[in-house]
Amino acid sequence: MTKKLTRHFLLIAILGVMSVSFLFDWGGLKNLGLFNLLGYVHEGLSVLVIWLVYLYLKSLHLFNNKNVQYNLKLIVINLISVYVLVFALKLIFQPQFVTIGFPPQTNDLKTIIYSNLVSLIGLFSMVGFILALRNLIFYKPKKNTRIYFYSSLFFLILTAILTSVLKAPLDLSFSGNGIYNNGTFVLTLIFLFLLSLRNSWITYLSRKEKLYYTFIAILILWGVSYIFDYAYELPVAYHSLAQAVFINGSWFFLFFYTLTSLIYLMLQLPTARIFERKMQEVSSLQNLTRAISVEMDTNKLTNLITNMIINVTGSHVSWIELLNPHENRLQVLATKNLLLQDVSKLKNGALKQLSTQILNDKKTLVLNELTTAQKNEYFQGFRSKINSLVITPIIGAQNQFLGLLYAGKSSVLGFDPDDVNLLEAFANQVAIALENADLLQKSFERERLEKELQIAREVQMRLLPQTLPQLKAYQLTTETITAYEVGGDYFDFIPRTDANQLGIVIGDVSGKGTSAAFYMAEVKGIIQSIARQNHSPAEILGYTNKVLATSLEKKSFITLTFAILDSQRHQLKFARAGHCPLVHFKAKNGQIIYHQPAGIAVGLDRGQIFKDSLQEHLIDIDLGDVLVFYTDGLSEAMNGKLDEYTEVRLADILKQFADQPVEIIKKRLIEDVFKFVGDHHLHDDLTLILLKRIE
């Protein structure tokens, strides 16, 4: 709000002072006596107007934009408007000056009005030029730029004051009084000249802009060199010497600056293409680095890179071949400007000979002049015209070969050393990107696997019975100890249609992880569906094998023992499909019997061999007898010396504690296993079922 008010006030002040100044001209007051005192007042007012115009224009948004193109446009508009306005004023007022002495004189009212108006236009225009040039100069300010700028303005105003006081022309003659104002004028010119050398904005123009601006600069220079004579020389000098000096000085500034800019532009024209290329290289590598840090998709990245190659090196075609480590084969990716037919030729190994050569040398191959023979050999039947070709290997941090980067041009001698360097830089970036993506992928993979294992573990745990069946005359207990990796241990109790019977199943799925958990679920489903009926253990296992053999992976198998406990007859009927033997403690004589009827694991055979090999055993259970079902996690538990726990140690514990309740036997047994393995952790799940007849 206050800024706006200040601006309005400034504008009113300018017009006010100019009006007073006009009255001086009109009344001829400035040339009256009293030591020319009124003349000094008039010049003082003129200097004040310069200052006010400077403050006014500086406060406008118009001159607060540092953009190069914008300021150049301002200068052009400024120049053209001055010509148009002064031309119009000349037509309207038809000014006439008496130019015998200095400054020029007139008594014609129209000429006086014309002079005042032209002076005002001149001030606005010149201050406008200064401010626009200031924005260009400060495009890339250096240490002394500001000092030079304000020094030149200071000396210009000082010269203006001195000239108006001494009334000596600025002819650089250094005679008489002229020594002072010409001296300060020379200082002004020196600073202005120094400022004129500040045209760093030109360096960063594009090649097209440089060419275009060179022509514009010639026209501006022509316009500038005539404007002083055409518009300002007579009327401003008549109106106010101070303003004339100011306009003259700033005109010099404008002229110098236009001249040096033109020279700079012309000097930079031959190197413009190279400079532009270098700028593009820097920015594209920057963009690429940025893209690599966020983009992990190999396809997108390689596409980005081939696009950049086309843009920066001016190649007509580009593509990337990456080594597929699993197949040890190069895979064509991110083809640019290649027709589908050509891509399929590449995929069929059109350049196999070249790629093998680079694979061995690990060096960039530059084929700048492909001979007809070479073209026939490599690009037989290609639709795309390729006359020069660069192939750069993509080498990883461990010096491993990751792939190849191709760039081709339809012209001969298409690639200079700069292009080749750049392509190598791109290849390095590709290598970094690929390795980053690979690392990330691996860590994702690990995380996913861990998650998967956790899920498998949870599934497995939920498949096991959560409560134990209550049995008359028998004690029953179970234990599952999970190892670090997910195993495939499984056990279950299945009530039978005959209430005196209980189905007991224990098994171990070969392999670990998710697949083991799934197979276990499948086994549980099959067994639950048929084991309630009046089938025998061998029938149940045979059916399980029949169903599972088709769905199991070739390498996988499942060991299973199925037993039916008859708690009235005190008999156990069971069959064993490759599972660990059933350990039987006979209370009667304190002996251990290992029941290992023949039988092969589920999944090893699809039908007849399995059925034929399977035997059923029927065991009598006497009072105090203990039966132990277990998985190989127990018998194969290993200590640091790589000894196995074995059934023998299990038998020893049984013999010692068989008279105790099953919970105590189990506790002692597990203590003993852990004592045995020591620091050598369990590497597989361990499952136990203990059954003891107590009545």
Partner 1 sequence: MKGFQVKRLDKNDVSVLYPAGFLDAHTVPQFESALSELVENGRYKIVVNFKDLDYISSAGLGVFMGFIEEVRNNGGDIKLCNLSDRVYKVFDLLGFPALFEIYNQEAEALEKF
Applying CB under 8 A, the residues found at the interface with partner 1 are: 508, 510-512, 554-557, 559, 577-581, 596, 598-601, 603-605, 609, 612-613, 632, 636, 642
DSSP string over 150-180 = HHHHHHHHHHHHHHHHH----SS---TTHHH
Question: Of 421, 429, 428, 430, nearest to 278 (Cα)?
Answer: 421
Among residues 237 and 689, whose Cβ is nearest to partner 1? 689
Minimum CB distance to partner 1, residue 492 (Å) = 21
Minimum CB distance to partner 1, residue 366 (Å) = 40
Among residues 396 and 581, whose Cβ is nearest to partner 1? 581
Minimum CB distance to partner 1, residue 626 (Å) = 21
d(CA 313, CA 238): 61
Among residues 367 and 582, whose Cβ is nearest to partner 1? 582
Minimum CB distance to partner 1, residue 604 (Å) = 6
Minimum CB distance to partner 1, residue 613 (Å) = 4
Among residues 198 and 579, whose Cβ is nearest to partner 1? 579
DSSP string over 608-663 = HHHHHH--EEEEE--TT-EEEEE-HHHHT-B-TT--B-HHHHHHHHHHHHTTS-HH
Q: In Å, how far from its chain's centre is CA 157?
A: 55
Q: In Å, how far from its chain's centre is CA 163?
A: 63
Among residues 469 and 511, whose Cβ is nearest to partner 1? 511
Among residues 373 and 642, whose Cβ is nearest to partner 1? 642
Question: Of 231, 39, 28, nearest to 119 (Cα)?
Answer: 231
Among residues 50 and 600, whose Cβ is nearest to partner 1? 600
Contacts of 315 (CB under 8 A, 6+ apart): 309, 407, 408, 409, 414
Among residues 37 and 598, whose Cβ is nearest to partner 1? 598
Q: In Å, how far from its chain's centre is CA 493?
A: 57
DSSP tag of 105: B
Longest dimension (CA), the chain: 152
Minimum CB distance to partner 1, residue 504 (Å) = 19
d(CA 223, CA 241): 24
b/e 155-190 (16+ beta carbons within 10 angstroms → b): bbbbbbbbbbbbbbbbeeeeeeebebbbbbbebbbe
DSSP tag of 269: T
d(CA 508, CA 686): 10
d(CA 662, CA 479): 11
Cα angle 683, 685, 689 (rounded to 5 degrees) comes to 140
Among residues 554 and 675, whose Cβ is nearest to partner 1? 554
Q: In Å, how far from its chain's centre is CA 382?
A: 35
Q: Which amino acid is present at 129?
A: F
Minimum CB distance to partner 1, residue 432 (Å) = 31
Minimum CB distance to partner 1, residue 601 (Å) = 5
Among residues 347 and 606, whose Cβ is nearest to partner 1? 606
Burial grade of 547 (CB within 10 A; 0-12, 13-18, 19 or more): middle
Minimum CB distance to partner 1, residue 503 (Å) = 22
Among residues 601 and 662, whose Cβ is nearest to partner 1? 601
Burial grade of 534 (CB within 10 A; 0-12, 13-18, 19 or more): exposed
Residue 595 phi, psi dihedral angles, 5° rounding: -90, 110
Minimum CB distance to partner 1, residue 586 (Å) = 22
Minimum CB distance to partner 1, residue 673 (Å) = 17
Minimum CB distance to partner 1, residue 529 (Å) = 24
d(CA 169, CA 178): 7
d(CA 13, CA 87): 27
Minimum CB distance to partner 1, residue 326 (Å) = 14
Among residues 13 and 638, whose Cβ is nearest to partner 1? 638
Among residues 196 and 510, whose Cβ is nearest to partner 1? 510
Among residues 407 and 481, whose Cβ is nearest to partner 1? 481
d(CA 83, CA 601): 105
Minimum CB distance to partner 1, residue 434 (Å) = 26
**What are the start-end ranges of the E strands in 415-473?**
none
